Structure 1
Amino acid sequence: MTADSDAPRIGSDEAGKGPVIGPMVAAAVRAPPGAIPDGVDDSKRLSPARRESITAALRECDAVAVGVAVVSTDRIDDPATDMNSLTVAGHAEAVAAVARDGDSVLADAGDVSESRFARRVCEGVADAGSDASVRVRAEHGADATYPLVAAASVIAKVERDTRIEALATEYAEYGPIGSGYPSDPTTRDFLSRYVGETGALPACARASWSTSADVLAAAEQSALSEF
């Protein structure tokens, strides 16, 4: 049995790694086991209403600390970095916001190598400005296995969805933006409309994504065909 001193006090996860629109959001939840609401699960398995109620319960509980890191589209498009490194950074920044000295962290692994992801997140906590010395373990699918990590996945998903809703309002004149994922026809239609009317990608789009390049190329081809 795992000793109490080794039991995770912090769970971390991210949402929005793959979309073409909007930021990636990482979250960390520091809590004792009894403070995690009943029925918490991988955010993808929960309804939006359930995710909202779990998030409210976590944020209102005095025993729970929540850290959120938002990785912007500009940061994602920076050629000096990559999504693996940004996923590490997001987890590390979220953990750094709540970590205390000696905490044990369990992260949903964002790398094929669980140990490498754990090591990089641990190093990143210090880089993010935290003085806390933490131990980090990472597992694939941790959000579906451990309530603490599932709680972080819910926080990250709700924060990401909130930001997508704000973008939908900001860009309402160009029609619905959809989920932001490349596989979503609504999202692709939104990008096509925006580029067709303005000649450029919206600031909320990840310009380095192949979907963005495809939309720009299609618009250029359409313009050429008009001559």
Structure 2
Amino acid sequence: MPQKSVKEIKQWLAENKLSDQELQQLSEDNRKGVQLAIKQYYKKIEREKQLHDQYNEMMSYERKCYAQGKELIVGIDEVGRGPLVGPVVAAAVILDPASYFPGIDDSKKMSRQKREAFDQQIKDEAIAYSFGIIDNEMIDQVNIYQATIKAMEQAVQTLPCQPDHLLIDAMTLPHLPYSFDSIIKGDQKSVSIAAASILAKVKRDQIMSDLHQEFPNYQFDSNQGYGTKAHLEAIEQYGITPYHRKSFAPIKK
């Protein structure tokens, strides 16, 4: 292979355009820029393999369902059980088996930028998705556990198609007539549940960002309604909003 510039080599490596033989030849190139580029290339390949292996492991529940002839597998998760303000939001999503989301994980482990990128990809490629949203007044009436069930059931019931099976993050939904798996830490073990956790998290964050515009003193855009020091100080100074959960401590007092 005729000697190419370091810039050209980097471009080829980025586009995976080199054969094993060409890579072997490059490994004998003594230029520091080339050696660094090769090192970075192999590091990227190893990272891609790790992500692929992780994704493959997280597809185990889905593959089991597909092997049983079940096609429309719904991942379900919720966000917002702990905050002092706002709704609990659940998402239900049916992923296309052909889709690939390398690096997908529990939404809480991701940066906002990464979550929003996954959120868009999931919405673009999913067979179907929907949300269940239970407001603070209903939470106060029925308690947060029952409100979470209601949000999850609402999300499933508003899907445009009938599910074949549900994969639920650590909950059971007694009023739905579908087979299911309740998976502890499901957002770390199932691609479908992880996708639902991302959709729910982005949806609820947007709701809290909108509430921040109405009540900027409480910093809902950054604390998402959780009881941070600044949030509790704002309650002391300004009182509660119509969106605070009155059944939650310390507001209950």
TM-score if structure 1 supplies the norm length? 0.76
CA distance in 2, matches of 1:188, 1:38: 39
Equivalent residue for 2:146?
85
Equivalent residue for 2:197?
153
Larger radius of gyration: 2
Report the secondary structure of 1:212's partner residue: coil
Q: Once the 2 structures are TM-superposed, how far is the Cα of residue 147 of structure 1 from its aligned partner?
A: 0.7
Of 174, 179, 185, the residue aligned with 1:141 is 185
1:164 and 1:102, CA in 2 relative to 1: closer, same or farther beyond 3 A? closer
Question: Do the aligned residues in 2 keep the contact of 1:70 with 1:90 (CA within 8 Å)?
Answer: yes
Of 70, 75, 79, the residue aligned with 1:11 is 75
Of 191, 195, 210, the residue aligned with 2:249 is 210
CA distance in 2, matches of 1:97, 1:48: 27
Report the secondary structure of 2:149's partner residue: helix
Q: Once the 2 structures are TM-superposed, how far is the Cα of residue 188 of structure 1 from its aligned partner?
A: 1.0
CA distance in 1, matches of 2:170, 2:225: 23
Encode CA deviations 1:21-67: one digit per residue, 9 max, x unaligned. 11110000111233252221100111100110111111122x43111
Which of the pair has the greater relative contact order for Cα pairs under 8 Å at 6+ separation?
1
Matching residue's letter, 1:70? I
Equivalent residue for 1:106?
167
Question: Do the aligned residues in 1 keep the contact of 2:72 with 2:163 (CA within 8 Å)?
Answer: no
Equivalent residue for 2:224?
179
Aligned: 1:190 with 2:226? no
Question: Do the aligned residues in 1 keep the contact of 2:130 with 2:158 (CA within 8 Å)?
Answer: yes
Q: What is the percent sequence identity of the aligned residues?
A: 27
**Structure 1 segments unaligned to the other structure (5+ residues):** 111-116, 126-132, 196-200, 215-227
Equivalent residue for 2:156?
95
CA distance in 1, matches of 2:234, 2:243: 12
Matching residue's letter, 1:211? P
Question: Do the aligned residues in 2 keep the contact of 1:76 with 1:206 (CA within 8 Å)?
Answer: yes
CA distance in 2, matches of 1:85, 1:7: 29
1:175 and 1:83, CA in 2 relative to 1: closer, same or farther beyond 3 A? closer
Report the secondary structure of 1:213's partner residue: coil
Equivalent residue for 1:35?
99
Report the secondary structure of 1:35's partner residue: coil
Encode CA deviations 1:147-184: one digit per residue, 9 max, x unaligned. 11000000000011111111111112x352433112x1
Tell me the C-alpha RMSD between the 2 structures. Answer: 1.9
Question: Do the aligned residues in 1 keep the contact of 2:218 with 2:231 (CA within 8 Å)?
Answer: no
Question: Do the aligned residues in 1 keep the contact of 2:92 with 2:196 (CA within 8 Å)?
Answer: yes
